Chains A and B, each alone.
Chain A
């Protein structure tokens, strides 16, 4: 009996592998193969010359393209795009998740005609970014659109320039980039340290204190001694122009977050809500202390999907702000232009690789968490 079970299991394992094989092969070629292709291209100088020849000459130049992107003054736009990416992703995530959660909580009570409200909040997802980008471009044009709304109520026209805005807050100087990174690392370590202090995990407290110490040393002692990475000052920060684009993105995808959270809230059995009520908890307490903590897995899944969507922001930014607005720039737009407008294929490939790694960062916490929850507890 056991032998035939073992045989059966092996046969099934074989089936599984065979069925997965096409997917593995396809993803292997079309994802990993192409990524390899892009990485290789980024290490050459393809495009510095007759880029479009039938057999272009590509010389291996190592990390030169990456050095150009991070430290040459012609690529200050790319560096701002990188800073923008961080803000785009964070603001889009927070915006959609918060608005989605809010809408889900609003709809969680038994409302009449819930279907209509749900459809109204969900329908923006049906549109393509290009369509919604074009419409929002009109809505956020400084001399028309949203700025005219105060005039309907007798007020003055709003003066905020939205996508044309040149204002920037939270500025820092790229010459101090190592220090900035050190400080960010330090803040991260301190947060983890505080979490571990709360958990009273002695071993981890010691580890994270040491790491924090190293970061502090790096940021405040070593960095001032390093020569500046750029010849002249270069300011970067949060461009207020991206707010317009975030609004469009949040409008489009908060419905999806709402659907997720609504499903999650409904999934919490009704009896929990009843017993909470009986214990005297009012709505606010129920939501904050009971419902929301249970939605953590949903949030994690939503984060992965929204990160996937934020890569497609290319269409939205392109339609709303056009190709050359440096304030709303994103590496995907710049990569597209560098490759297809300037014919600098290798430089574009380097941008693409950086973009890919940035995006992949979002999958790592998800994977770690998913692995942990699937492995049996120690």
Chain B
């Protein structure tokens, strides 16, 4: 009896091994070109997958309403998954993609998060024919298209753009303390000393990902646009003295932040600036949405913004976009959806409610807030570089490991060790030449 049991257990274990090797069904050949050529009216089920909810819900709803107006026959299923700073959404999406049940379209950050994860695994449909048909090459900035495409094609349609190198402050408070907005890091350190003497925290910060965002702002400042891009393309070594300087500046910046940063959400860090406990906060421009919509503050009057020190003339961006996975059940409807996402009407319905700026350069700016107008001007005029913390310039494997490097740096403040660690994780994650 016992022998039989042990044998049975072994059988199950081996079955498990074998199951792991089972092949997935191959998916039929679909291309966007075929869909466009067939030109049939979209109908049936359309499942879109995103992580927009809460305060971003209304924006998505507006886009969906606009889409439904044009395609009444489509049954749109909004499979939003929120929570866990997007990790839950990723878990659900990846489980489905691995299990062979892709949605028609899913939200993904434009850039390496899309390319490193999905394009390299050959799971996305090439949207170049759609870009041509919709004339999007004229409408989206060239820098943006370069970042969302590879040599083999273009893989998603950008819906909204956020700027990550923004520094927020309360003008009235700065006046009270007698400080002006710094434009370089030397100026910032000088201002910080003045503020610390008054017992004000110079820079408020939240949980780890906000530290990553601050790091990328400093990297852009210290390296400048060209070297910053070189770092991600593998042309600049992580162990270079310039990169070490980035970490050292970052270390100095950490000394100016609040000690309880890791337990604060980003809104709570913004709250510190509003209540006067802190002077400045670096955050992407969803902070404007928070201040205007939830806290009902007036831009320019109640709160002010500037580029983070040292990044004048540069726009560090992240873009949410929609891509179409291979093997989806209703490609016609999927194409209809992403064209709506990239259309002028769609973007102008979505972005004002979300507080972001449209990826298109021909949007109707009168619909947007004072802040968004200034951001859109920057987007049109400044050099555009990608954000690190939001999946543009580095793939997911690198980002995950970078969190550990950041965690280690925050413990020991060793710039050289951080550089070496980054060099190693860049290599393991395929980011070196």
Contact = CB atoms under 8 A, between A and B. Distances in A.
Direct contact of A and B (CB under 8 A): yes
B121 A56 contact: yes
B264 A52 contact: no
Contact of B407 (A28, A77, A143): A77
Interface in A33-83: 33-41, 47-56, 73-77
Interface in A1-43: 24, 28-29, 32-41
Contacts of A143: 260, 264
A161 B262 CA distance: 10
Given A54-B100, A324-B208, A34 B117 contact: no
B263 A162 contact: yes
A52 B207 contact: no
A38 B26 CA distance: 24
Contacts of B264: 141, 143
Contacts of B121: 50-54, 56
Nearest to B410: A166
B397 A141 contact: no
Given A35-B13, A164-B260, A336-B91, A76 B404 contact: yes
Contacts of A40: 16-17, 20-21
Contacts of A24: 8
B428 interface: yes
Contacts of A56: 121
B324 to A, nearest CB: 15
**Which residue, of B23, B263, B264, B399, has the highest number of chain A Cβ atoms within 10 A?**
B263
Contacts of A343: 94, 117, 396-397
B9 A32 contact: yes
A74 B424 contact: yes
A176 interface: no
Nearest to A47: B397
B425 interface: yes
B14 interface: yes
Interface stretch (B82-90, B149-157, B162-170): B82-90
Contacts of A172: none
Nearest to B326: A54
B85 A76 contact: no
Nearest to B405: A74
Nearest to B407: A326
B94 to A, nearest CB: 6
B396 A341 contact: yes
A76 B405 CA distance: 10
Nearest to A147: B260
A86 interface: no
A215 interface: no
B314 interface: no
Given A163-B263, A341-B90, A29 B15 contact: yes
B91 A161 contact: no
Interface in A323-351: 323-327, 336-338, 340-344
Contacts of B87: 323, 336-337, 340-341
Contacts of A163: 262-263
Interface in A144-175: 161-164, 166
A325 B208 CA distance: 7
A36 B260 contact: no
B401 interface: yes
Interface string B1-45: 000000011001111110111011011000000000000000000
A54 B262 contact: no
A140 interface: yes
B13 A50 contact: no
A340 B94 contact: yes
Contacts of A342: 396-397, 399-401
Contacts of A137: 263
A237 interface: no
Contacts of A52: 94, 97-98, 117-118, 121, 123
Contacts of A33: 12-13, 15-16, 19
Contact of A28 (B8, B122, B259, B327): B8
B12 A36 contact: yes
A53 B123 contact: yes
A330 to B, nearest CB: 14
A250 to B, nearest CB: 19
A49 B16 contact: no
B411 interface: yes
**Which residue, of A35, A54, A161, A322, has the highest number of chain B Cβ atoms within 10 A?**
A54
A340 B90 contact: yes
A261 interface: no
B408 interface: yes
B261 interface: yes
B16 A164 contact: no
Given A52-B97, A54-B100, A337-B400, A32 B12 contact: yes
Given A74-B404, A141-B263, A323 B397 contact: no
B393 interface: no
B216 to A, nearest CB: 16
Contacts of A47: 397
A142 interface: yes
A290 B300 CA distance: 73
B235 to A, nearest CB: 22
B403 to A, nearest CB: 5
Given A36-B14, A52-B97, A74 B263 contact: no
Given A37-B20, A74-B401, A341-B400, A54 B123 contact: yes
Nearest to A163: B263
A141 B363 CA distance: 42
Nearest to B118: A52
B209 interface: yes
Contacts of B26: 54
A163 B121 CA distance: 38
Interface string B412-433: 0000000001001100101000
12 contacts: A32-B13, A35-B16, A36-B14, A40-B20, A76-B408, A143-B264, A161-B263, A322-B207, A337-B400, A340-B87, A340-B90, A341-B400
Given A36-B15, A166-B411, 17 more contacts: A33-B16, A35-B13, A38-B16, A40-B16, A52-B117, A54-B24, A54-B26, A54-B27, A141-B263, A143-B260, A163-B263, A164-B259, A164-B262, A322-B262, A323-B87, A324-B208, A343-B117
Interface of B: 8-9, 12-17, 19-21, 23-24, 26-27, 84-85, 87, 90-91, 94-95, 97-98, 100, 117-118, 120-123, 207-209, 259-264, 268, 327, 396-397, 399-401, 403-404, 407-408, 410-411, 421, 424-425, 428, 430
The 7 closest A-B pairs by CB, nearest first: A36-B16, A342-B400, A142-B260, A36-B13, A33-B16, A326-B407, A53-B121
